């Protein structure tokens, strides 16, 4: 009696695909930084275009490469460098570099079309091999603030001071802030008292109290304002008798202004 054993057909088993198997052996994962990508290319309609049309370049960057050796779908490839040291790049990586800089992930088309390099069609297929991962960019050195303070919003060292920022940083009251904004608007030129009074009582339908009372309130507020600004690099200087006040900006200078 003959017994026949049915062997499983190999075609019935589906091989689990390794993302690396779909790429050729040449340096597929070459990348450039964002600044260089934007200097070389313009991105429109899901494609890269040369900014500098030299030689026989077509406007659209890259050429279609048939990956016959690996059986993979065709991809767009861009060559960069001199003839002696030319390097080839998959266009999808350069599109990613143009938008976000270098990546440590293998890129793949979300719709399965390897010729569709639109940024919205680029997804991830696992981490890059360790030897192909881009070197991490060095962390930028934080700039020291000219005024010895950091921005309350982002924490960065303040390089350009404004009246509103000074108000937040140095705990300046609303009345003092109105005076500072009025004098700041002069950009270093004298600001007359009428302009300061207008700012101080901008919300008063009657335009404020008498001239004498306004000046008295100004002197008190100015005294407190100067105290808060001491050593900040921001000072208010009396220009001269009845000529007003002007703003002086320096680097953490200690105020030596004359009294109001």
The whole domain housing 181 covers 163-249
Does residue 255 fall inside a structural domain?
A: no
C-alpha–C-alpha distance, residues 242 and 240, integer Å: 6
Residues 123 and 171 in one domain: no
How many CB atoms are closer than 10 A to CB 171?
9
Is residue 126 a contact partner of residue 19, using CB atoms and an 8 Å limit?
yes
Residues 188 and 127 in one domain: no
Does residue 2 fall inside a structural domain?
A: no
| Neighbour-count burial of 184, counting CB atoms closer than 10 A to its CB (0-12 exposed, 13-18 middle, 19+ buried) | buried
Q: For the domain that residue 102 is a member of, what is the CATH number? A: 3.90.75
pLDDT on residue 11: 41
Q: What is the number of structural domains in the chain?
A: 2
How many CB atoms are closer than 10 A to CB 157?
15
C-alpha–C-alpha distance, residues 177 and 164, integer Å: 8
Does residue 143 fall inside a structural domain?
A: no
pLDDT on residue 24: 46
C-alpha–C-alpha distance, residues 161 and 166, integer Å: 7
How many CB atoms are closer than 10 A to CB 179?
25
Residues 112 and 183 in one domain: no
Is residue 229 a contact partner of residue 235, using CB atoms and an 8 Å limit?
yes
Does residue 66 fall inside a structural domain?
A: yes
Does residue 191 fall inside a structural domain?
A: yes
Residues 113 and 171 in one domain: no
Does residue 155 fall inside a structural domain?
A: no
* Domain stop point among 113, 132, 151: 132
Q: What is the three-class DSSP state of 238?
A: strand
Residues 128 and 170 in one domain: no
> Angle at the Cα of 197 (from 192 to 200), degrees rounded to 5?
130
Q: What is the three-class DSSP state of 58?
A: coil
Q: What is the three-class DSSP state of 85?
A: coil
Each residue's pLDDT tens digit in the chain (260 positions)? 555 444 444 444 344 344 444 444 444 688 999 999 999 999 988 889 998 876 666 888 888 887 655 456 788 888 887 767 788 898 999 999 999 999 988 898 998 888 899 998 998 888 887 765 666 556 555 556 666 666 655 556 666 788 888 888 888 899 999 999 999 998 889 999 889 999 998 888 888 888 889 989 999 999 999 998 888 888 899 887 667 899 988 754 433 334 34
pLDDT on residue 234: 87
Does residue 64 fall inside a structural domain?
A: yes
* 249 strand-pairing partners: 234
Residues 46 and 113 in one domain: yes
Q: Two tokens at 91?
A: 């266009």
Residues in the chain: 260
Does residue 115 fall inside a structural domain?
A: yes
Please give the full DSSP string across 155-211, using - where no structure is assigned: -PBPSS--HHHHHHHTT--HHHHHHHHHHHTTTTS-B-HHHHHHHHTTT-TT--S-H
């Amino acid at each position: 009696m003959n017994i026949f054993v049915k062997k499983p057909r190999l075609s019935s088993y589906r091989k689990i695909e390794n993302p690396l198997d779909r790429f050729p052996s040449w340096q597929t994962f070459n990348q450039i930084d964002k600044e260089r990508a934007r200097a070389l290319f313009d991105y429109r309609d899901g494609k890269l275009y040369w900014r500098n049309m030299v030689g026989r370049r077509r406007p659209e960057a890259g050429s279609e490469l048939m990956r016959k050796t690996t059986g993979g779908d065709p991809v767009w490839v861009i060559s960069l460098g001199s003839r002696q040291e030319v390097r080839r790049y998959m266009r999808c990586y350069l599109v990613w570099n143009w938008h976000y800089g270098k990546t440590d992930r293998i890129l793949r088309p979300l719709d399965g079309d390897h010729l569709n390099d639109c940024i919205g069609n680029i997804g991830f297929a696992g981490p890059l091999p360790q030897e192909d991962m881009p070197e991490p960019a060095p962390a930028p050195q934080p700039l020291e603030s000219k005024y010895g303070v950091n921005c309350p919003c982002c924490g960065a060292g303040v390089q350009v001071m404004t009246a509103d920022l000074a108000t937040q940083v140095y705990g300046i009251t609303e009345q003092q802030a109105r005076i500072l904004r009025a004098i700041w608007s002069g950009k270093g030129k004298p600001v007359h008292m009428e302009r300061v009074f207008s700012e101080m009582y901008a919300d008063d339908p009657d335009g404020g109290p008498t001239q004498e009372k306004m000046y008295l309130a100004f002197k008190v507020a100015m005294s407190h304002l100067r105290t808060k600004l001491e050593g900040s690099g921001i000072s208010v200087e009396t220009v001269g008798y009845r000529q007003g006040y002007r703003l002086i900006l320096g680097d953490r200078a200690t105020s030596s202004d004359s009294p109001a």
